[in-house]
């Protein structure tokens, strides 16, 4: 699979200077973490889940989580497990593995991992891994040990995506020790962890908060502070870090606004003005703003609960021609000694040593999301993604 693989080759050539590379469940774990993009969550109770998965893959979704946890009620769990087994059997008979997204199952308990993997049987080969909720240094070992055992049963690699969402990782008096201990545990299973996910809804719940459609996660200071601390511990660029994914955007249909839209007219002027109106109508301007802040704060990819959120996440993940040019200059031959360069775009300085880690990360993102042609911007990718 590849990002924007649902577009025709001619359309991709028109958009990309460097097209996104292919990747899959067997790719290096770090590549998968960067490539996750918009990870679409779906309740495991959906009666036509297999068809839904194929439909989303055909529209550009490359990673999905089939949820047995908070998206369904306690009494629905047994039926949801049975449904997953049936739907995986249908998928195995109707689609080639390369035509499917990376598929993860979000469980409630460690015991579900072994049980569900055994019940899936040969169709577990379609499973990329499990999402581990309420993950801490105390709860994590059982999940990770169960995953290791299930991998032996399935005969194929199974990856783990821990979700940091427990109150002890938010509360001030336990946050530092909790995050540090959790990081030590995750490090022992580094080869299985493509990304660490943030459960911001649960963090808000610990204080009875819910951000409105007019606010990003970064406007809620309690949430912003824990995001900063998670990136501080898990997102370092010294080789010890992981991809940390962005929080869920809860809204997908517009209502009466209190504040002005966040999208300027000029990027859409004369070409995609109707698209701008649609984005604002459905509160996507708030989502776009939050994605930009995610990137600025060291997060990549995002938990999504609606298919309409996928295109904005992917459009803003494509590396611009300007970013690519700056990164290539910083990492160019003979730059190891440092120094300062004027950007080829003559609008900024590129300081080789301080900007080196950024440049390396940018080129990794360029590999999986591609590089835009000169003159092509996020609006063009948004239009391609929602067409």
How far, in whole angstroms, is CA 316 from its chain's centroid? 12
**How many of the other CB atoms lie within 10 Å of CB of 159?**
23
Dist CA 268 CA 383 (whole Å) = 10
How far, in whole angstroms, is CA 72 from its chain's centroid? 21
Nearest 10 degrees: Cα torsion 249, 253, 257, 263: 70
User: Backbone phi, then psi, for 338, in 5-degree steps?
Assistant: 95, -155
- Tokens 């545990």 belong to which residue? 185
Q: 202 among the known binding-site residues?
A: yes
User: Backbone phi, then psi, for 167, in 5-degree steps?
Assistant: -55, -35
DSSP 114-149: HHHHHHHGGGGGG--EEEE-S--TTTHHHHHHHHHH
- As given in the structure block, the two tokens for residue 298 are 């060291």
The CA-based angle 302-306-312, given to 5 degrees, is: 55
- Which 3 state secondary structure label does DSSP give 182? helix
Between helices 321-330 and 352-369, what is the axis angle to 10°? Answer: 130
User: Backbone phi, then psi, for 130, in 5-degree steps?
Assistant: -125, 145
Cβ atoms of residues 43 and 77 within 8 Å: no
Which H helix or E strand runs over 244?
strand 243-244
Range list of H helices, the chain: 9-15, 29-35, 49-58, 77-94, 110-120, 140-154, 172-187, 200-205, 221-234, 273-281, 284-296, 310-315, 321-330, 352-369, 378-386
Whole-angstrom CA distances from 11 to 3, 132, 283 are 13, 38, 28
Cβ atoms of residues 160 and 107 within 8 Å: no
How far, in whole angstroms, is CA 235 from its chain's centroid? 14
Q: Which residues are annotated as a binding site for Mg(2+)?
A: 202
Q: Which residues are annotated as a binding site?
A: 202
């Amino acid at each position: 699979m590849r990002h924007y693989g649902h577009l025709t080759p001619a359309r991709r050539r028109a958009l990309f200077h460097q097209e996104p590379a292919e990747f899959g469940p067997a790719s290096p774990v770090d590549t998968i973490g960067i490539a996750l993009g918009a990870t679409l969550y779906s309740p495991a109770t959906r009666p036509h889940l297999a068809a839904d998965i194929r439909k989303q893959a055909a529209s550009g979704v490359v990673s999905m989580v089939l949820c047995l946890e908070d998206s369904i009620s306690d009494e629905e769990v047994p039926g949801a497990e049975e449904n997953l087994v049936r739907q995986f059997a249908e998928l195995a008979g109707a689609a080639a593995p390369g035509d499917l997204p990376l598929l993860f199952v979000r469980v409630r308990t460690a015991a579900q991992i072994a049980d569900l993997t055994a019940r899936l049987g040969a169709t577990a080969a379609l499973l990329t891994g499990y999402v581990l909720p309420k993950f801490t240094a105390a709860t994590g070992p059982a999940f990770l040990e169960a995953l290791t055992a299930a991998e032996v049963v399935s005969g194929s690699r199974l990856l783990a995506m821990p979700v940091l969402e427990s109150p002890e990782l938010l509360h001030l008096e336990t946050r530092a020790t909790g995050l540090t201990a959790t990081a030590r545990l995750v490090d022992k299973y580094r080869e299985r962890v493509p990304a660490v996910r943030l459960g911001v809804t649960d963090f808000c719940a610990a204080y009875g908060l819910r951000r409105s459609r007019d606010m990003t996660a970064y406007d809620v200071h309690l949430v912003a502070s824990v995001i900063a601390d998670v990136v501080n511990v898990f997102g370092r660029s010294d080789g010890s870090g992981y991809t940390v994914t962005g929080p869920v955007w809860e809204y997908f249909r517009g209502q009466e606004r209190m504040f002005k839209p966040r999208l300027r007219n000029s990027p859409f002027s004369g070409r995609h003005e109707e698209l701008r109106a649609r984005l604002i109508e459905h509160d996507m301007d708030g989502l776009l703003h939050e994605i930009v802040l995610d990137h600025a704060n060291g997060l990549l990819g995002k938990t999504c609960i609606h298919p309409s959120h996928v295109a904005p996440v992917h459009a803003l993940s494509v590396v611009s021609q300007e970013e690519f040019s700056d990164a290539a200059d910083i990492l160019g031959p003979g730059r190891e000694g440092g120094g300062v360069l004027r950007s080829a775009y003559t609008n900024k300085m590129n300081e080789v040593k301080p900007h080196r880690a950024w440049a390396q990360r940018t080129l990794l993102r360029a590999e999986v999301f591609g590089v835009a042609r000169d003159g092509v911007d996020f609006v063009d990718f948004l239009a391609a993604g929602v067409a």
